[in-house]
Amino acid sequence: VRSLTETVADGDEFDYVIVTLKALPDVYDVAEIIRPAVTIGKTCIVLIQNGLGIEDPVAKTFPMNPLLSVVAYIGVSQLSSGRIDMQGTELLKIGIFPKVMVDHAKQVEARDRFVGVLRRGGVDVEVIKDIQADRWQKLIWNGSFSPISVLTLGDTQLIVNNPEQKALLVNLMRDVIRVAAAHGYIFDEEATITEMFAKTARVAPGYKSSMLLDLEKGQPMEVEVILGNAYREAKAKGVAVPYLETIYTLCNAVNQREKKAREMKAAQNTPV
């Protein structure tokens, strides 16, 4: 099938709806997009998306449905339509999202069945007890490398090789680690930072962040779920994150500027 309309026309009910859309709560509402395919109390919703706080709006709209949260580790860049450059390993970490009004057993059942399907398909899957820990961990990378790459238009190599930019990376990682800690997710600061740099050198040297690729392609960037939500979580807990705050403000400005540019271009191309 090619579209949601075509899919639901048969009257079928779905066991799973898998969301792999960019997480852009400031652009569209994922819950509204998938609504036609969701049977209340039955369909398990699977979010394979980046960022923090992506589950909440879906859980709020569909509190009676099983909800799975997946963090994907795929070192891939789409260079152009159909041209994929795979630079790292592939792994899906999967966990249940507990804050829905669904029996834990039913959530686990939905998860295990989904994991089984993936494994039979040869996908590398890891079942995680508290997937939010992985969301925070991934955010340590995405909240530091991504915004610097966007604001400097540089790849990982260029950033790491510059002592000042490397220092800023570290300060951003520390900010994120501090917010995570305030939410009960404790990372060993020094060990984590060391590992982030080691892993980047190993699997993603000269790597362009997905946020930078989005900017280059003229698409909205995942600023809100990667930086905005972390910043708001920091504010809510009274944690000072000056580096994260600055970088969020600037990336937000770039996002808004590009949006305005797209709108102006679209207006010019619209026949009167």
CB of 61 to a second copy, least distance (A): 27
CA distance 177 to 170: 10
What is the smallest separation between the CB atom of 158 and a second copy, expressed in angstroms? 8
- Closer residue to a second copy in complex, CB, 123/253: 253
Instruction: List the alpha helices (DSSP H) in 48-90.
Output: 55-61
Rounded CA separation 272/264 (Å): 14
Going across the sheet that includes 44-48, the strands are 16-19, 44-48, 67-80, 83-96, 125-127
Cβ nearer to a second copy, comparing 122 with 242: 242
Identify which of residues 92 and 215 has a Cβ nearer to a second copy in the complex.
215
Residue with tokens 């509204």: 32
Q: Which one, 37 or 254, has the nearer CB to a second copy?
A: 254
| Rounded least distance, CB 97 to a second copy, Å | 29
Give SS3 for 106. helix
Minimum distance, C-beta of residue 255 to a second copy, in the bound complex (Å):
10
Instruction: Give the torsion sign (CA, 262, 265, 269, 272).
Output: positive
Q: Which residues form the interface with a second copy (CB under 8 A)?
A: 148, 151-154, 162, 164-165, 167-168, 171, 242-243, 245-250, 252-254, 256-257
Query: Between 78 and 256, whose beta carbon lies closer to a second copy?
Result: 256
Considering the complex, what minimum distance in angstroms separates the CB of residue 207 from a second copy? 17
Q: What is the DSSP string of 157-189?
A: HHHHHSHHHHHHHHHHHHHHHHHHHHTT----H
